[in-house]
Every structure is written in C-alpha cells, then in structure tokens.
Structure 1
Amino acid sequence: MGTEDALFVPTATMANLIAVMCHCQRRGAQLLLGREAHLHVYEHGGVAQVAGVHFQALPDLPDGTFDLDQLELTIREAHGSRYHPRPELICLENTHSSAGGRALPLAYLQQVRLLADRYGLQGLGAPAGAVLAGRREFVAEAWRVRKLLGGGMRQAGVLAAAARLGLEHAETTLRRDHDNARRFAQGVQELNSPLCSVNLTAVETNIVLVGVKGDWPSPTELCERMQAVSEEEVAETGHAVSVLLFPWSARSLRAVWHWNISAHDTELAKNKLDFVARKCQEKLALGLGTSPWSTGGD
C-alpha cells in the first residue's frame, strides 16, 4: 500500500469523522447505524456537530447486527421523500465492542452491501484504528477533509511501520489473544460463582463481558477489588496480582486481551477472580456485603 492509498490521522475518532464526511458531502445527509455503535455513543455526536450528518440509530441485536428488514424499511420510507433526511451511509461496527467483541457474520455484511447498492447508499466499515485506506479518489478527499479539521501527522512512516509489523504477525497474535480470552471465559464459567457469569457463545474475539449478579458487589467495586492487592491474597495464593478491568454497565464488566498478555497472565487473572469472588461470598454469608462499611479492606 503506497502513501497514495492510505491516510494516517491522529485519532480513531477523527478517522471515523473523516470517513463519514467523505461519504456524506451534503449537510443533512442521513447515517444509519446501530444504537450501541461506538460512533453513535462515544464520540460526542461529532458527525452531527461537525459534519451536519443526521443519525438514524437502529436497535442492536445481541450479536451486534440489526434487523435487515427494519433497515430496509427505514431506507425505503426516506428514499425519495421530501420530508425525511436523505439516507446516504450505513455504518457497521466490526468487531462490535458493546456486543462483547462479536465479529459480524460475512453473510450479514454481504446482505447489507447488497441493500446499500440497491438504494444507492455507501457502505462503510468504520475503522477502529487511525488509518484510512481506500481508492485514491477517496483518500484524496480524506486528505482535504483532514486539513479542514486541523488534523496533521508527521513522520507517518513510523506509524506505517508499526501497522506493517502488526499485519505481518496479526494471524498469530490475534489467535493467541482470542484463545486467552476464551480460556478466561471458560474459567469464569467453571467457577460457577453466584456473583459472576459469562455467555461463552458470545466470546468470539479478545473481549469478554462478565455478568455481575446480585446487589453487591457492583461492577465498579468488583473491578476495584480485582486491581487491589491484599496481604491475605499474597498469603493464601502466593501471588500479588493486579488485574485491570472496566465496569462496562450496571450489571457487567469488560476484560480485553492484547499482545503482551500471556496464557500465564490469563491464568493468574482467572485465579484472582476466583479469590475475589470467594472473599465477597464470605462477606455476604456474614451479612456484611451490603453494609456501607463493608467495602473496605478484606
């Protein structure tokens, strides 16, 4: 890939915005996407604020897709209408973060592509990184839009070298990350804990969403306990392990694997969750778990 066919931008959010602006060049154009898509939820509505593009969010299905019949109905109602915003772009998040890193099925993507072609829409797989790639005409327009937004990137070859290295080793590292994530998810299931659970069928990539049951501990409290290290933990397990997790929702937390988390690290994380869950259960058995004073040291 030469420099004519790719554009490096400072952030993934700007990459998304530039891509949308290249496809939707008229203010008031309509963008169709999932309600829980990163572009819709976590980017301050940038495409509306900056590009003047109207969001039409469709309900997400558990696997990160949305209902194709509803998608076509939405497009058909607006197509050629004097009253509705004109739909011009469909954005799909793949893999879908809020669905637990689900990979969208190829057959689904092909159906969306056919639907987009039928109504003259663009199909955009919104990039998850800060690199845009495409035909030279698209990249030339992206360069123009990046300048409009004040974006710039110097020494882009350094970033390109990292991207090339990642692509050359992606098959091995991604498979390892996915295997480690699934091993952790299986470990959570094997714990059979009344405090946490996991849906193994939803674990497809390097993201695991762990469901948190009951009123206590909350996902935030559980994450804090997974990060903290106590003397009791070291004495009982022989390890001082700190695991960084993210409280994803009111009833779940998220774990993500990357290239420098090994199978051994994964095993330690699973054992840490076992330890934390057991200690929380002991507190609950003593009637201490829901007390305002119960979240201190173990």
Structure 2
Amino acid sequence: MVTRTVDLRSDTVTKPTEAMRAAMANAEVDDDVLGFDPTAARFESEMARIMGKEAALFVPSGTMGNLISVLVHCEVRGSEVILGDNCHIHIYENGGISTIGGVHAKTVKNNADGTMDISLIEAAIRHPEGELYYPTTRLICLENTHANCGGRCVSVEYTDRVGEIAKKHGLKLHIDGARIFNASAALGVPVHRLVQAADSVSVCMSKGLGAPVGSVIVGSKSFISKAKRLRKTLGGGMRQVGILCAAAFVALKDNVGRLEDDHRKAKMFADGLNQIKGLKVDTASVETNIIFFDILEGSNVKVENLCKFLEEHGILMLPVSASSVRIVLHHQISENDIQYALSCIQQAVLQFQAGNDGK
C-alpha cells in the first residue's frame, strides 16, 4: 500500500499553505465586479508595481489571461498574432484566440531555448497596405520561461530586441509570463526589467508561486480597462475575489524567494537521473524547475511502464512522448522526496532492463 506521494506532474499541483488558508479566511472582501473588493485592489496594485506597469487585473486562469490580452491587442477580427509554434498559447489553450477572438495565428519555429529567430519574426510581419489577401499583423507573443522547451529562460536582451521590432512595425508585444518569476530568479534580473519591453504580461500565481487559483495580467491603464470588460464577457468576473487574492498575496510574499531552491533541486534531480544507465538529461538545459529526461533506445524501458511502476510507488510524472518524461519541481518537493524518486526510478529501470515487465 502506497503511503507516500511525490507529485512531479507540474508545479500546478501545489496545495495552499496554512498561511494561505488563514489569509483567505480573514480576507477583507466586497464585490469585485462592482469594483469594491479591497483585497483584490491592493493585490492588483502591488502586482502592477512589481511588474513595472500602470495597472493589473486578477483573472481565474493563465489561459483566460492570455486570451484577454491577445483580444485587447487584436480588437479587429481577422488580425494576426506572431507566436512560437511550440508555445502554450498555440498548443494548449484550445485555439481560443481564433475560435473566440477571430485572431489568426502566424507561427514561427521555436528554437531549443524558447526563442524565435529575430529575422523570422520580422519576415512574418504582414502590413495592411501591402496585400489584399493577408491578415494584418498586430501582435507578437513570447513565453518566459518556455515550458515546452524545458523551462528555458528568455533573456532581457532578446526580449528588448523583439520589443524594438514590435515598435518599429507598430505592433504590440505580449509576454506569457506564467513562470516569469522563475526566469527572474534564474537570470538574476528583476522581473520588471524582464518585461519592460512588453505592452502586457500574464503571470500565473498557481504554478511555482503555489497559490491555489489565479493569474494576473498587467499593462497600461487603457489596456486593463479593456481587459476588465473582456473578463466580464468571458465569465471571469468574480464577486468576493479577495479571498483568492489573499492567497496570492501570501504566495508573492513567501514563495518568490523559494524559486531558486526549486531550481537547485531540479539540477540535483537531473544529475541523479543522468547517473541511471538508460536515461539521459541535457543538464545544460535545466535552467529552472522543469526537467525532460529521455529513455535511450535499447534500454528495454517503456515510458508507459515506467510511469505506471512509479505511480504504484506514489511517484507521479507526465509522459510527453514515447521516449520522454517531464518532471516539474515546486516548493513542496523536498530533497528527501527527490532521493526517494530517484531510488524508485533506478529500481524500475533495473527491473525492466533485466527483462521483467519492460515490454
């Protein structure tokens, strides 16, 4: 019988801390749709200050935050957004920018580090005066950290350069900054500087920061005014939302400083995986809290069998392909959890390599 769970599926699985629960229970609240929830107002003001923007808006999820941001910048249906072919908005958000907003996605290949070639971004821009047949480019989107590229950090220099391209062509720049605080911690760059070139940013509070619910979008006062109307349209206007903002406040205060430790533990985990024959991690790519490890050909280990074995021992991971598994660290994973997980992975691999249940 499994008596222990080590949940490595994502940093979204964190549970609210006692401090968060206490803050939620004691939160001063009112009707936020009417604009009177004091805790929500204070939290939004603090997030705007931290991110170096004029205003902020709490939304239920990062997907809604990204959708609202794209739709504000692309008010005219048939507008086009340039974004990475492997980014979260394009892959995992149900095609909402097109199905709901009528916005066309122009994808550019993501490099291994999460960037897109500057020359390809500029070549993808389409202007209204040029052709009768094409949609008009109005927005560029970046993702930092880039989840599908292993939590890689996008540098401030690169972001500034994309911002320059956007301004040169009269476009807006949005950053899906679901894990932007991870990037800030890993790069040693203040978070407001990382997003200085952006017209809007979405920030997830319920990933590495560990709040139970919610994301924040930041930008100009005009942007947030339009975003608030869209939030209502999409059903994201909530009443006594200060209860959720109170938990996010605690996450901001208590957990930003823990991200570096999550990154350290991820590197420790990656090093341990590389010691197991038949597994491979590109340790240089482990910059934050996400690890992808590959199962080498000829190892007699199948992803589905490995994950099933580990689940039976209370260890939860996400297979991402027939030969690759994703691990995400967060503040509720201890070094002891890592050692336990590594020992179980080693046990599984040895068992499968010996020809037992590996097929």
TM-score over 0.5 for the pair: yes
1:190 aligns with 2:275: yes
**Equivalent residue in structure 2 for 1:6, among 43, 56, 71:** 56
Partner of 1:73: 123
Structure possessing the higher radius of gyration over alpha carbons: 1
Q: Does 1:61 align with 2:115?
A: no
TM-score, structure 2 normalization: 0.72
1:101-146 C-alpha deviation (Å, 9 max, x unpaired): 1111221111111111110110101242221122222111111011
Percent identity of the aligned residues? 37
Is 110-119 or 150-159 further displaced after alignment?
150-159
Q: Quick one: distance in 2 between partners of 1:186 and 1:79? A: 51
Match of 1:36, SS? Answer: coil
1:145-164 equivalence runs, <5 A? 145-164=230-249
Distance 2:129 2:285 in 1: 39
Shift of 1:250: 2.4
For 1:251 and 1:24, locate their aligned partners in 2 and report how far apart those are by CA, in whole Å: 39
Relative contact order (C-alpha < 8 Å, sep 6+): which is higher?
A: 2
Q: Which moved more, 1:2-11 or 1:147-156?
A: 2-11
Structure 1 portions without partners, runs of 5+: 230-241, 291-298
**Is contact 1:89–1:123 with CA below 8 Å preserved after alignment?**
yes
Q: Is the 8 A contact 1:6 1:132 kept in 2?
A: yes
Aligned residues of 2:301 and 2:353 also touching (Cα < 8 A): no
Q: Any conservation in 1 of the 2:302–2:358 contact (CA below 8 Å)?
A: no
Which of residues 282, 306, 309 is equivalent to 1:199? 282
Q: In the alignment, is residue 166 of structure 1 matched against residue 238 of structure 2?
A: no
Q: What stretches of structure 1 move > 3 A for 4+ residues in a row?
A: 1-4, 77-80
Query: How far does residue 79 in structure 1 lie from its aligned partner after superposition?
Result: 6.0
Residue in 2 that maps onto 1:47: 97
Give the gaps of 5 or more residues in structure 2. Answer: 1-40, 46-54, 179-203, 205-214
Give the whole-Å Cα distance in 2 for the aligned partners of 1:167 and 1:147: 25
Distance (whole Å) between structure 2 residues aligned to residue 105 and residue 147 of structure 1: 34
Amino acid at match of 1:135: S
Q: TM-score, normalised by structure 1?
A: 0.86
For residues 198 and 79 of structure 1, the distance between their equivalents in structure 2, rounded to whole angstroms, comes to 46
Supply the RMSD in Å over aligned alpha carbons.
1.8
Report the CA distance between 1:78 and its aligned residue: 4.3
Which amino acid in the other structure matches residue 243 of structure 2? V
Partner Cα separation in structure 1 for residue 243 and residue 127 of structure 2: 45
Alignment equivalent of 1:25, drawn from 67, 75, 80:
75
Distance 1:79 1:179, change over 3 A: farther
The corresponding residue for 1:126 is 176
Contact 1:16 1:127 in 2 (8 A): no
Output the CA distance in 2 between the equivalents of 1:270 and 1:183: 10
